[in-house]
Chains A and B, each alone.
Chain A
Amino acid sequence: MAELMLGAPLLWTTVLAPVVAGAACLVASGRSAALLAGFSWALVLTSLILLAPLVYSVDAPAVVVDPWYAEVPGLGVFGLMVDGVSLAYAIAIATVSMGVAIYSYRYMEHRFGELGAVPRWGVYFLLYQLFTAGMLGAVYSINTVLFYLFLELTLIPSFLLIVLYGYGERVRIGLLYMVWTHAGAALFLVAVLIIGLATGVFNIYAPGVGYIVAVERQLGEQLAYLTFTLLVLGLGIKMALLGLHVWLPYAHAEAPTPISALLSPLLIGLGAYGLLRIGLAFYPTLWTAASPLLLAWALATMIYGGLMALTQTDIKRFLAYSSVSQMGYLMLGLATGNYAGLSGAVLHYVSHAYGKAALFAAAGVLIVAAHTRDMNEMGGLASRLPYTAAAALTGFLYLTGIPPTLGLLSEYLIARGLAEWGYSEGGVFFTASLAAFMVAVAVSAVYCFVGFRRVFLGRPGPAASRVSAEPSSMAGPTLFLALAGVVLFLFPEPLAGPVRAVVGAIAAAGGGAG
């Protein structure tokens, strides 16, 4: 793919913009919170506007590289780039963080009140923006170690946000979150360091050279197996795949709700990003060999997460388990290894981002308006909170692949990837994966619509009587999040075209059909 060197360090600017916004919030801590929220929002929006022209240059398709890159002795080239996949991730991260930032204002006011604390908006927004910056940086990184560093940058603020503003045993759960995801990141770091020391490869992309692929050939069999396993386990923890998922329901349920809306769809999906860029691109042969196993793991995660969600009574734990199930969808797309499945996985990251952010935001409205997280107390809330109900229903449509949301396209592409995979593996695999996929999709539909019913439909529960009015300053951003992916459903090509070009190149490097 063609490389396009930017004339100015726009990518670094997009990463730094939230940091500057956050720092400014801290300095201006005394001012009104609304102003701060607006300011943060404006700067994240700036990041997004800076991205916009890139859409067109990427459409070529090209890899856009930031001019500020440098060789770090012994650790390859550090720098930033954006291509179709990074762009899809970045758009989701920027728009969701933006929507949630506005939403935060009213929610955190409520939370500060509950905690009986003096509102410290500066601290909150600084941490919030650092978190966003870390995620943006991670998806722009051209270097495995830099990717790790940005992941760690997300970890510290998100840990502090949980500890400072979370619910329940927030210190213990913050630590639990920290230990788990740090362990995941550490496994990842060990793997990339071994790869780097053995082969000298630290880059996903090297300016002037292109994508670095098929590193497994230089590694030797044993080291390849070892590092591959470490990578999959490390990023599997980040992604909360079945067996490595137990931390997620705690962290995502007890985090302050705006942070759940960032953690759940945005951060954990970065695990899938790492698997695509490093797991798949570096190990095409090994990935293909492992694909039946990975696929089974993905389907099991989808079904298990869905069944767990069905048994929850706490709405935030319910949504957290739903995220586990959704990460199964991403993994399923990745496991197929063909360009359709990979594109489906990347697009499903975006679908899930809007859907789950809208759902967590809706849960936050319930917490503020109905003072409960217990779904047994809910029911019949649709007539009292109509906009929130509409946003939540739309959110569920993303998870179940129903139009008019981007979920249909991403689910379709994952299904197409699965069909292609089954075709190349033969009849037994085709049939078995088809059956499991049907069960997984049905389980998703069941927990989504049963969950929606328990909260919003049927006879009013005790919580309904506590709702006096719908907080429009929260319902508005919630609806914005829910509708963002509708626009992308109607006009998917600017998003999906570049994604397809990049994953096509990655799949082709592995000998698959590009």
Chain B
Amino acid sequence: MSVEVGGYVLNAVLAPYIAALLVLLLHRAPAPVVAWTGVAGLAVSAFSSVVALVLVGPEGAEPFTVYWLPSFNVAFSLRADFLALAMGALVAVLSLIIGIYSVEYIGSWGAPRYWFFFCFFVGSMQTLVYANDLYTLLVGWEGTGLASYALISFYHDDRETDWVGDPGRRALGVPMWSPPTHSGIRAITFTKFADAAMLVAIGFIHAVVGTTLMDVLEPEAGGFERVLGAAQAAGALLPFLFAFYVGALAKSAQMPFHEWLVTAMTGPAPVSALIHAATMVKAGVYYALRFTPWLVSAAVATGLAAQLGAFLDALLWLVLITAFALATMALVARELKLILAYSTASQLSYMFAAVFAASLYALASQQLEAAQLGVYSGFAHLVSHAVFKAALFLAAGALIHAVHSRYITDMGGLAGSMPLTFLATLMAGLSLAAVPPFSGWWSKDAVVYVLKLAGPHYAALALVTAFLTAAYTTRMITYVFSEKPLGRRAHGHEPGWLMKGAYLALGLASLALGAAWYWAVEPALAEGFGVHPKLDPLGLAIGTLAASGGAVVGASYLAGLRPWTLIERSAVLRTLHGFLYDRWYVNAAIYRALVYPGATLAQLLRSAVEAAVDRFYHISVPRAAVETGLAARSLHQGSLPAYVAYMLLGLLTALVVAAYAGGWP
């Protein structure tokens, strides 16, 4: 990397960290000072990462490496290939916009804490994005885990307005609501559980190739060939692949790990935007985009294509089912941010699906460059999702704040009082629904195209989900903006310009990206990833049809055809509604199968095992010693004949022993 580019990339990574440190030092300063210090750091990061992208362009540049821990061949190393540069620029720019929104939204309560973790979050994400070293990547990865924990439980006094779920509602006896501090624990536990496996997988790679530098893993260097070969030789290929991917699946909220993400809605709205658009859940997808094509070429080179193919096929099914399942949950959810959260997990699945499907196709057809097509499609969808989802969450923050309720059923008719918010939500929502010409339409079709390469059934499942996506999006918008409120009367008011400017810009961006897609965005991405995506008219047509069909169904709410009331009346539908509303009982199953038995086991171990061991060592053993002593004392009562007898007995024993030792008889 030239000194210049290296400097910009380093700035992009370090500026948010430095801002975090400054926030810490300034924690007694007035809230605006703290807030703008944080924003300044984000601005430097955004500027630097965009300049780095423009300077380097699609060719990429050499990595920038400082040996951090030379004795283990571990480095702090940053790379500047197109994927890293484009992702870094996206993350930094979105974080900056969300940061500006936060200045108004957060105010002064907990401001230093908020800005410290916000900046730390962005710095960690930039670290993992630009990482050219697996340990560097881990530093960023685990850093995002900490920041998400702290921000999800930001309202650490557990005020009821910031809970998620309906207080009092239970599924299979398991509470389906979550206060902020509980959500934080869920987030860090779910991800840390999976990260433990990732640590082992990275350790395995480190042990085999002798370094954590990622250069060695690139297809030309052949590192992954040695890793896969070693795993196969040890009979541990499947567990290795599992360990390698499970961290990414958990971070990106794929089933059953989506549970942490849906309760993460207890954080402030800009935190949700940050997590969903820029800094947290995209990390898993990015990881898959980064490494899957390398694994594919290594598997082909080592003759393990069939094994990797089978594994990726299983993952593909998992993510497609996640996409479908979470979309169905979004259909019935009543909390605005919860709908958006379901939608995120579902859309992330598309991104995973793109790269897994393209890789499957590449493995089957031995056309290695096809995997890159998956990277292109997955990343394209990542970009459009990041923009529209940030807009939706930021607008949701304004809406919830305006009506003092997180339920869409308490909103309604807000288009009149919050027109700009409505406009932004509409543009972003249409992009999510994949309606032309918004960016989501282009990128979702690119995903469906690669899914079709792997098999038409995959594409069909994705289209069903696209239909559902359009339906729940329209339902949400209808409820919030055009319906009459079901409950109390809602009064909306627009927020200040820092807030509405942020989401309006993002809403417009999803339109602008869509408008410029064919002429500018797609060629730029295609050049960057070195692929030649083909426009597939039939696919586009079917995709459009699915989206508009879904939109029409969703819009039927407008006409007063509320399936809501229908479901309440019919027993069968009520069961189905409950099943969807309670998140397919996945949460209940996790608690019933793991959490509660774990707690019971702990109590049981404490009351039975620990208590018994304690009693044994601290009561039984000392008592036995005392009683032995007492028993021995009864032999020593001062009676001379007894002592003589003991003496004779002892003498006899000694004689026998001596005789035996001397070889007699």
Contacts and interface: CB of A to CB of B under 8 A. Distances in A.
A449 B236 contact: no
A497 B69 CA distance: 7
B204 interface: yes
Interface of A: 176, 243, 246-247, 304, 307-308, 310-311, 340, 343, 380, 382-383, 397, 400-404, 408-409, 411-413, 415-420, 422-424, 426-428, 430-431, 434, 437-443, 445-446, 449-450, 453, 456-460, 492-493, 496-497, 500-501
Contacts of A449: 149, 184-185, 188-189
Contact of B157 (A310, A426, A442, A458): A458
Closest 3 CB pairs of A and B: A416-B203, A427-B235, A441-B196
Interface stretch (B304-312, B564-572, B610-618): B610-618
Given A308-B606, A441-B193, A496-B69, A415 B599 contact: no
Given A411-B199, A430-B234, A430-B239, A419 B192 contact: no
18 contacts: A246-B610, A408-B138, A411-B199, A412-B202, A415-B199, A419-B203, A430-B240, A441-B193, A441-B195, A453-B182, A457-B156, A458-B156, A459-B158, A492-B68, A493-B70, A496-B71, A497-B70, A497-B71
Contacts of B70: 493, 497
A358 to B, nearest CB: 16
Contact of A446 (B189, B197, B200, B243): B189
Contact of B207 (A419, A446, A496): A419
A422 B234 contact: yes
A428 to B, nearest CB: 8
Given A311-B603, A497-B70, A422 B236 contact: yes
A442 B193 contact: yes
A308 B602 contact: yes
Of listed B70, B239, B605, residue having the most chain A CB within 10 A: B239
Contact of B142 (A401, A415, A430, A434): A401
B230 interface: yes
Interface in B218-254: 230-231, 234-236, 239-240, 243
B185 A402 contact: no
A423 B157 CA distance: 46
Contact of A459 (B143, B157, B207): B157
A415 B181 contact: no
B207 to A, nearest CB: 4
Given A445-B188, A458-B179, A419 B149 contact: no
B140 to A, nearest CB: 8
B192 A420 contact: no
Interface in B400-441: none
Contacts of B69: 409, 492-493, 496-497
B72 interface: yes
Given A246-B618, A382-B156, A419-B203, A442 B192 contact: yes
Contacts of B202: 412, 415-416
B135 interface: yes
Given A434-B243, A493-B71, A496-B72, A415 B156 contact: no
A403 B139 contact: yes
A33 to B, nearest CB: 30
A402 B142 contact: yes
Contact of B203 (A400, A420, A427, A441): A420
A445 B142 contact: no
Nearest to B601: A307
B610 A434 contact: no
A437 B602 contact: no
A257 to B, nearest CB: 23
Nearest to A397: B146
B599 A458 contact: no
Interface string B121-158: 00010000000000100110011011001000100111
B153 A434 contact: no
B598 interface: yes
Given A243-B613, A449-B185, A404 B203 contact: no
A412 to B, nearest CB: 6
B290 to A, nearest CB: 19
A213 B481 CA distance: 77
A474 B242 CA distance: 46
A426 B235 contact: yes
Contacts of B230: 423
A419 B603 contact: no
B333 interface: no
B185 to A, nearest CB: 5
A366 B188 CA distance: 25
B201 interface: yes
Contact of A445 (B124, B189, B199, B236): B189
B236 A431 contact: yes
A495 to B, nearest CB: 10
B206 interface: yes
A351 to B, nearest CB: 14
A426 B240 CA distance: 12
A426 B230 CA distance: 11
Contacts of B138: 408, 412
Contacts of A428: 235
A431 B202 CA distance: 15
B196 A383 contact: no
Contacts of B236: 422-423, 426-427, 430-431
A442 B610 CA distance: 21
A408 B204 contact: no
Contact of B200 (A437, A456, A458, A460): A437
B188 to A, nearest CB: 6
Nearest to B76: A490
Nearest to A497: B71
Given A419-B203, A437-B197, 17 more contacts: A308-B602, A308-B605, A340-B207, A382-B156, A400-B188, A401-B199, A408-B138, A409-B69, A423-B236, A437-B196, A438-B196, A443-B598, A445-B192, A453-B181, A457-B181, A500-B72, A501-B71
A423 B156 contact: no
Contacts of A460: 157
Nearest to B614: A246
A423 B189 CA distance: 27
Given A243-B613, A442-B189, A458-B158, A403 B142 contact: yes
Contact of A423 (B124, B204, B613): B204
Contacts of A430: 234-236, 239-240
Contacts of B158: 457-459
A415 B196 contact: yes
A339 to B, nearest CB: 9
A271 to B, nearest CB: 18
B620 to A, nearest CB: 12
A246 B618 CA distance: 9
Contacts of B617: 246-247
A308 B139 CA distance: 30
A284 to B, nearest CB: 19
A409 B184 CA distance: 23
Contact of B146 (A402, A424, A446, A500): A402
A409 B212 CA distance: 13
Contacts of A397: 146
Contacts of A431: 236, 239
A450 B192 CA distance: 14
B329 to A, nearest CB: 25
B239 A434 contact: yes
B181 A458 contact: yes
B193 A445 contact: yes
A418 B202 CA distance: 11
A424 to B, nearest CB: 8
B203 A412 contact: yes
Q: Which of B157, B179, B184, B614 has the most CB of A within 10 A?
A: B157
Contacts of A307: 598, 601-602, 605-606
A431 to B, nearest CB: 4
A450 B156 CA distance: 13
- Of the listed residues A343, A397, A438, the one surrounded by the most CB atoms of chain B closer than 10 A to its CB is A438
Contacts of B124: 403
